[in-house]
Amino acid sequence: MGRVISVSDKHQNSGFEEEGTPLTDDAAETGFRVVQKYLKNLDNSPGVYRMLNTSGEVLYVGKARNLKKRVSNYARLTGHTARIGRMIAGTAQMMFLTTETETEALLLEQNLIKQLKPRYNVLLRDDKSFPNILVTTDHDFPQAMKHRGSKKGKGKYFGPFASAGSVNRTLHHLQKVFLLRNCSDSVFAARTRPCLQYQIKRCSAPCVGKVSAEEYRATVEDALQFLSGKSTAIQESLAKQMAAASDAMEYEKAGSLRDRIGALTAVQSSQGINPQGVSEADVIALHQDGGQACVQVFFIRANQNWGNRAYYPRTGAGAEPAEILEAFIGQFYGNKTPPRLLLLSHEVENADLLEDALTAQLGRKVELLVPQRGEKRNLVEGAERNAREALARKMSETATQAKLLSGLAEAFNLDSPPERIEIYDNSHISGTNAVGGMVVAGPEGWMKSSYRKFNIKNTDLSPGDDFGMMREVLDRRFKRLLKEDPDKKTDLWPDLLLIDGGVGQVSATVSALDALGVEGVAIVGVAKGEDRDAGKEEFHRPGQRPFALPHRDPVLYFVQRMRDEAHRFAIGAHRTRRAKAVGATPLDDVPGVGATRKRALLAHFGSAKAATRAGLADLKAVDGISDALAESIYGFFHSGD
């Protein structure tokens, strides 16, 4: 790809040739003079540069069509924005990666930003994938289902949808209008009579022959047309079928078709913005206020609005709109398939590079457009309005959260409002399927990407030993934290631990942290208090007397919400683990026996216990079980014979 002009051997990158020498340590010099020293070693190649402070922390990652020209801008004493001036003033070292092409530099820059999270870069913090609808093609009676992740299954995919709720609503419409099945193939094969979906007219019951394969395939084709935006043609076809059924005095069939037309009309009226002149596009609009930014993305597919989502990227201490949108687009489509058209609220830097990168990713031309009039402009204005309103709500919530955190610091005698609060709880039934849960809160509310669950592994604990469970959870959590960030350079370290429990749980927490040598983390136990009544909680701190907060104190409600969220999360994790345990069979532990072969064994023998007792000849008779696997299964359960 290119070569590296490095400032330190510790920044080596595989696949790059390393050149240059580190900047000497004769003085911890920072600022534009440091930048000037690198200019003589640079050429006019495209590439990526990093700016680091005296501690080696990456402050900024940037790309350049011409490294020498770009870096020379930072070597000037004046003419910078306040943000760039602060960044240059803190720069003590620089590192450079040359690339073969400018597009390659763009992709490398965005990957490094995601990996390093530099302070002065624009960073997309929520980068989850989106759900799609999959209509399978490997079955005589195709199924419509929600799908998330890589598109490996056979079938036709439609999406992305902005949320799981959008997908569920569309699937509901598909069932109501086209009567498509939503059951799994195994359930479909095992049915002997119609299920409730058939009774409430949400499925045509192909599993028991209530509809022929030809009729079902015709409805599947109609559903595919609907998902492709051709709902008007489907409505006309259904109307003709209804009229023909009525003329033939097939009134029950005509009534069913009438109901389907009504459902389709309701779908069309509830979809909101459905642009006629835009078949496929993402509408991306930015609004900034008070140093914060909101980016709204609307997904237009098949001339239909498939939902929208708001993002709140970190703006790198005040970046300009062009830089924010460029960074957002580069990071947003890093793991998503782009559409053929992106409608933007602002011009972006290096639009040609973005178009080239997205075109290569999609395999066909991708266009970036800032519309000035017409339907496309109306779409952008709608997205801008949503971005403005969403940011106003977010800033209001953030202000409220800041007041609560300040009140929390005062109530618990903390040095400053906590930036990261970790709340812990355990869930189990008499010690079985025990799970520890950790939820995280901060200045912007819940940090759900940081939630963690811990399956309790210590078999020496007595059933129901909550203190021992808490010690194990905290031991595992902070051992990993010490390994990943021993110098506490990142924001992964909590300022406050809230423990669901009283003096015993607090003692277990102190014991776990002391054993690891962890200091400087405030610990508060939240006990239920008198009569276990909400509002009468007692708070326990190491070495201090328990205390309570006034009954109507907003901080008390805030703590209750955090404790309840930890409780909800831990219970959910416990129920999931318990459900898996209930469905577990001895066949789960046999090497080479996956879900398909397990179903074959259960269908053949009737139960897992019968399969474990089966003879070798009987195992070999099962469809899908080879002779070698049959011998392996037999040996697994009869090794002591």
Rounded distance, CA 356 to CA 359, Å? 5
What are the residues facing 63 on neighbouring strands? 48
Residue 641 confidence class, pLDDT cut points 50, 70, 90: low
Range in 162-176, 197-211, 619-633 with the lowest mean pLDDT: 162-176
Range in 64-68, 216-220, 245-249 with the lowest mean pLDDT: 245-249
Residue 610 confidence class, pLDDT cut points 50, 70, 90: confident
Decide: residue 64, CB within 10 A, 0-12 exposed, 13-18 middle, 19+ buried: buried
pLDDT of residue 335: 81
Phi and psi dihedrals of 143, rounded to 5? -115, 140
To the nearest 10°, report the CA torsion of 567, 572, 574, 578.
Answer: 150
Rounded distance, CA 474 to CA 455, Å? 12
Instruction: Compute the 3-state secondary structure of the chain and give helix, strand, coil in percent, each to the nearest 5.
Output: 45, 20, 35
269, pLDDT greater than 90: no
Residue among 137, 293, 299, 283 nearest 220 (CA): 137
Rounded distance, CA 463 to CA 444, Å? 38
Residue 315 confidence class, pLDDT cut points 50, 70, 90: confident
Give 314's DSSP letter: B
Token pair listed for 198? 């058939």
Read off the pLDDT of each residue in 247-270 and give the average, rounded to a whole number.
69
pLDDT of residue 27: 43
Contact 318, 81 (CB under 8 A): yes
Token pair listed for 409? 């610091």
Range in 172-176, 232-236, 435-439, 568-572 with the lowest mean pLDDT: 232-236
In single-letter form, the type of residue at position 89 comes to: A
Q: Where is pLDDT greater, at 231 or 16?
A: 231
Read off the pLDDT of each residue in 482-501 and give the average, rounded to a whole number.
88
Residue 592 confidence class, pLDDT cut points 50, 70, 90: confident
Q: State percent of the chain over pLDDT 70.
A: 90
Q: State percent of the chain over pLDDT 90.
A: 37
Rounded distance, CA 227 to CA 210, Å? 25
377, pLDDT greater than 60: yes
Token pair listed for 131? 């759900």
pLDDT of residue 177: 79
26, pLDDT greater than 50: no
pLDDT of residue 12: 35
In single-letter form, the type of residue at position 36 comes to: Q
pLDDT of residue 21: 35
User: Quick one: three-class SS letters along 171-199?
Assistant: HHHHHHHHCCCCCCHHHHHHCCCCCHHHH
In what side-by-side order are the strands of the sheet with 47-52? 17-19, 3-5, 93-98, 47-52, 58-64
Token pair listed for 55? 């501690």
Q: Where is pLDDT greater, at 522 or 149?
A: 522
Rounded distance, CA 574 to CA 437, Å? 9
DSSP string covering 128-161: ----EEEEE-SSSS--EEEE-S---SSEEEE---
Residue 410 confidence class, pLDDT cut points 50, 70, 90: very high
- Verdict on whether the full-model pTM lies above 0.75: no
Rounded distance, CA 351 to CA 339, Å? 16
pLDDT of residue 2: 52
HSE-CB at 280 with a 13 A cutoff on CA atoms is 14
14, pLDDT greater than 50: no
Range in 163-167, 517-521, 636-640 with the lowest mean pLDDT: 636-640
Listed in sequence order, the residues at least 6 apart from 403 whose beta carbon sits closer than 8 Å to its beta carbon are 554
Range in 83-87, 159-163, 416-420, 475-479 with the lowest mean pLDDT: 159-163
Q: Where is pLDDT greater, at 396 or 499?
A: 499
All domains in the chain, ordered by first residue: 3-116 (3.40.1440.10), 132-270 (no CATH), 280-392 (3.30.420.340), 421-580 (3.30.420.340), 586-637 (1.10.150.20)
| H runs (alpha helix) in 289-334 | 321-332
266, pLDDT greater than 80: no
In single-letter form, the type of residue at position 553 comes to: D
Angle at 268 between CA 274 and CA 305, to 5 degrees: 30
502, pLDDT greater than 80: yes
pLDDT of residue 215: 87
pLDDT of residue 120: 92
SS3 215: helix
Rounded distance, CA 306 to CA 79, Å? 44
550, pLDDT greater than 50: yes
pLDDT of residue 6: 45
Read off the pLDDT of each residue in 471-479 and give the average, rounded to a whole number.
93
Rounded distance, CA 24 to CA 26, Å? 6
Rounded distance, CA 405 to CA 411, Å? 10
Contact 590, 639 (CB under 8 A): no
SS3 438: strand
pLDDT of residue 187: 82
Residue among 624, 596, 631 nearest 186 (CA): 596
What are the residues facing 49 on neighbouring strands? 62, 96
Read off the pLDDT of each residue in 568-576 and give the average, rounded to a whole number.
90
Decide: residue 211, CB within 10 A, 0-12 exposed, 13-18 middle, 19+ buried: buried
Contact 473, 458 (CB under 8 A): no
To the nearest 10°, report the CA torsion of 155, 159, 163, 168.
Answer: -50
In what side-by-side order are the strands of the sheet with 132-136? 144-147, 132-136, 155-158
Q: Where is pLDDT greater, at 222 or 377?
A: 377
In single-letter form, the type of residue at position 84 comes to: I
pLDDT of residue 17: 36
For residue 406, the surrounding DSSP H or E stretch is: helix 374-411
Tallying the residues shown for the chain, one arrives at 641
SS3 24: coil
Rounded distance, CA 92 to CA 95, Å? 11
Residue among 7, 61, 64 nearest 34 (CA): 7
Read off the pLDDT of each residue in 572-588 and give the average, rounded to a whole number.
77
Read off the pLDDT of each residue in 167-177 and give the average, rounded to a whole number.
81
Decide: residue 533, CB within 10 A, 0-12 exposed, 13-18 middle, 19+ buried: exposed
Looking at every residue in the chain, the average pLDDT score rounds to 84
Residue 25 confidence class, pLDDT cut points 50, 70, 90: very low
pLDDT of residue 321: 92
578, pLDDT greater than 50: yes
SS3 332: helix
